[in-house]
């Protein structure tokens, strides 16, 4: 009897968290693939091999367009995510085999980056729509913690990462052999988890094709989850006795967050590569990039835990403020005694902030277009890597990137200080409160639908000046017109 209870409790636990945990771990092979790219690009015999990145973008676009199309065809969310993840796992297994063969690693890179793009879109899309308000942020954040772990491990297991020249790479037949073993081991484990969840789904023990949020699930079943703003207001008018309607900021918030993510991704990539490749400011002897990623991983893990207690906005702004203080201290210490320890802490804080804007983009996106915005954020993740490698890493004559003069540290710090300060201000002003809010609550906030009386100060001033506080659907267009006068 006790064994039966243990088995029943285990199945209950797996049914609740198993699908989400399996979806998060799929980012580990993705991180390993990205670690390979970080090493392969500067060691590619003078020809930067950007083919895998373009393949990743192509497959991400195909998956995003496919999921986007199903929403129009069926008018509700179709849970094909795990089927795509299983196909991506097969691509990873096949690609991993090529890493064992000398000079065939580039073929493996193409295959694993096809899986990289599909996994990125499908995993985040699934966790966004299926998770509850208490766990959604932590699940998505843990995806990026796995991702950073993969990057760090991928770079660490490749001999002489960022040091080997193209000639050394040719002479070393097993340059990616250790990487191949690690990649295959992780991919096999992730594939087993996905297959296990899929089998339990067929047995009826697990139901991953559903949503934890009851109200959202009912709207999805009734085909009303993709209602436009006017229909949403009409629906809540029948269920809520008190609410205000203000300006619709959803697409403005999404646009601002995408711009901020592009700037942040560029800063993080440049920071990690510059402090790894420039001899004048290198943070350690040997391969420094993986050590920076290990620091970022620690920050990512702690950041995931902090999301149980603080909003994304507070975590991001507090991290930026701390980075600014450390940056000033680091420049002073670096110029006087050559101590660069504060920059290790800055790398740690980059890990804490890494998922914040990405999560905000996903959570504030319109339900119908969430996969499209995830794809755009994926583009923003890859483009800085290619651009920085072309214009900085690959150009050994670039005096700004490879200058041996320590005074360039102050110049970099000044530019970093200005950019990161602007990011902090923009995120603090534009990102709404997302802490443990259901997706419908977040949608209402960005759509300008306010239910609590203490939020009266959030009303558009134009509404107040015109004397119209629209609480009925027929007053909305009148109020919008009056607010523009």
271 in a domain, yes or no? no
Distance of alpha carbon 336 from its chain centroid, rounded? 37
CATH number at residue 146: 1.20.1250.20
Residues 158 and 240 occupy one common structural domain: no
Residues 191 and 237 occupy one common structural domain: no
Over residues 81-93, mean pLDDT: 94
35 in a domain, yes or no? yes
Q: Give the whole-angstrom CA distance, residue 288 versus residue 291.
A: 5
The answer to whether the beta carbons of residues 382 and 53 sit under 8 Å apart is yes
6 in a domain, yes or no? no
Distances, alpha carbon 354 to alpha carbons 92, 313, 350, 449, in Å: 25, 12, 6, 30
Residues 234 and 194 occupy one common structural domain: no
Distances, alpha carbon 221 to alpha carbons 89, 125, 211, in Å: 30, 18, 10
The last residue of one of the domains, among 221, 237, 262, is: 221
pLDDT (0 to 100) of residue 393: 82
315 in a domain, yes or no? no
- What domain range includes position 61? 15-221
Residues 73 and 179 occupy one common structural domain: yes
Residues 237 and 133 occupy one common structural domain: no
Q: At what angle do helices 407-430 and 312-336 cross, to 10 degrees?
A: 170
pLDDT (0 to 100) of residue 479: 46
Which residue in this structure is represented by tokens 């999560």?
Answer: 359
The model's pTM is 0.89
463 in a domain, yes or no? yes
Q: Give the whole-angstrom CA distance, residue 156 versus residue 178.
A: 10
> Could you report the per-residue pLDDT of 174-191, keeping only the tens digit for each?
567 888 999 999 999 999
Instruction: Tell me which DSSP letter residue 432 carries.
Output: P
pLDDT (0 to 100) of residue 430: 82
43 in a domain, yes or no? yes
Over residues 135-145, mean pLDDT: 94
> Could you report the per-residue pLDDT of 6-52, keeping only the tens digit for each?
777 777 777 788 899 999 999 999 999 999 888 877 665 544 468 88
> Could you report the per-residue pLDDT of 320-331, keeping only the tens digit for each?
999 999 999 988
The last residue of one of the domains, among 221, 237, 257, is: 221
pLDDT (0 to 100) of residue 12: 76
Residue 462 pLDDT > 70: no
Residues 201 and 60 occupy one common structural domain: yes
Strands of 160-259, DSSP E: 244-245
Residues 148 and 240 occupy one common structural domain: no
Q: How confident is the model at residue 82 (pLDDT cuts 50, 70, 90)?
A: very high
Query: Cβ neighbours of residue 116 under 8 Å, at least 6 residues apart?
Result: 29, 30, 33, 34, 56, 59
Residues 211 and 238 occupy one common structural domain: no
Q: How many helices (H) and strands (E) does the chain have?
A: 21, 2
432: left (phi over 0), alpha (psi -120 to 50) or beta: beta
pLDDT (0 to 100) of residue 24: 95
Residues 195 and 234 occupy one common structural domain: no
Residues 189 and 233 occupy one common structural domain: no
457 in a domain, yes or no? yes
Residues 96 and 238 occupy one common structural domain: no
The last residue of one of the domains, among 221, 256, 291, is: 221
> Could you report the per-residue pLDDT of 246-289, keeping only the tens digit for each?
788 889 999 999 999 999 999 999 999 988 888 888 887 767 88
Number of separate domains in the chain: 2
354 in a domain, yes or no? no
The answer to whether the beta carbons of residues 399 and 408 sit under 8 Å apart is no
Query: Cβ neighbours of residue 79 under 8 Å, at least 6 residues apart?
Result: 126, 130, 208, 209, 210
């Amino acid at each position: 009897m006790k064994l039966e209870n243990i088995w029943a409790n285990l199945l209950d636990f797996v049914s609740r968290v198993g699908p989400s945990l399996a979806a998060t771990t799929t980012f580990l092979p993705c991180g390993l693939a990205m670690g390979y790219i970080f090493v392969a690009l500067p060691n590619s015999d003078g020809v930067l091999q950007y083919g895998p990145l373009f393949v990743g973008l192509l497959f991400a676009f195909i998956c995003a367009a496919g999921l986007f199309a199903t929403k129009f065809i069926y008018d509700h969310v179709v849970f094909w995510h795990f089927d795509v993840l299983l196909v991506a796992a097969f691509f990873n297994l096949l690609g991993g085999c090529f890493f064992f063969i000398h000079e065939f690693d580039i073929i493996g890179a193409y295959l694993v980056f096809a899986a990289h793009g599909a996994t990125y879109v499908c995993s985040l899309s699934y966790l966004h729509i299926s998770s509850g308000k208490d766990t959604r942020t932590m699940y998505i954040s843990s995806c990026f913690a796995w991702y950073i772990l993969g990057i760090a491990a991928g770079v660490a297991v490749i001999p002489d990462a960022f040091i080997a020249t193209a000639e050394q790479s040719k002479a070393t037949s097993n340059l990616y052999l250790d990487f191949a073993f690690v990649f295959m081991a992780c991919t096999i484990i992730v594939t087993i988890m996905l297959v296990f969840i899929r089998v339990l789904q067929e047995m009826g023990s697990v139901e991953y094709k559903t949503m934890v949020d009851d109200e959202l699930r009912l709207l999805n079943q009734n085909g009303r989850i993709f209602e436009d703003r006017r229909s949403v207001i009409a629906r809540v008018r029948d269920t809520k006795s008190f609410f205000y309607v203000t300006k619709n900021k959803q697409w403005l918030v999404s646009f601002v967050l995408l711009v901020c993510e592009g700037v942040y991704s560029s800063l993080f990539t440049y920071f990690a590569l510059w402090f790894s490749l420039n001899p004048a400011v290198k943070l350690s002897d040997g391969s420094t990039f993986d050590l920076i990623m290990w620091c970022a991983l620690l920050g990512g893990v702690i950041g995931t835990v902090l999301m149980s207690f603080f909003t994304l906005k507070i975590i991001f702004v507090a991290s930026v403020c701390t980075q600014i203080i450390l940056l000033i201290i680091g420049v002073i210490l670096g110029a006087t005694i050559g101590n660069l320890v504060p920059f290790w802490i800055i790398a740690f804080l980059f890990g804490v902030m890494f998922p914040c804007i990405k999560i905000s983009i996903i959570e504030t996106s319109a339900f119908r277009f969430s996969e499209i915005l995830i794809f755009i954020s994926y583009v923003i993740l890859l483009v800085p890597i290619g651009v920085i490698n072309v214009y900085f890493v690959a150009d050994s004559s670039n005096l700004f990137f490879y200058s041996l003069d320590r005074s360039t540290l102050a110049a970099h710090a000044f530019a970093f200080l200005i950019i990161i300060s602007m990011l902090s201000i923009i995120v603090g002003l534009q990102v709404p409160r997302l802490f443990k809010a259901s997706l419908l609550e977040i949608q209402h906030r960005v759509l300008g639908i306010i239910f609590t009386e203490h939020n009266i100060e959030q009303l558009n001033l134009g509404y107040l000046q015109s004397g119209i506080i629209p609480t009925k659907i027929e007053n909305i267009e009148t109020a919008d017109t009056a607010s523009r006068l």
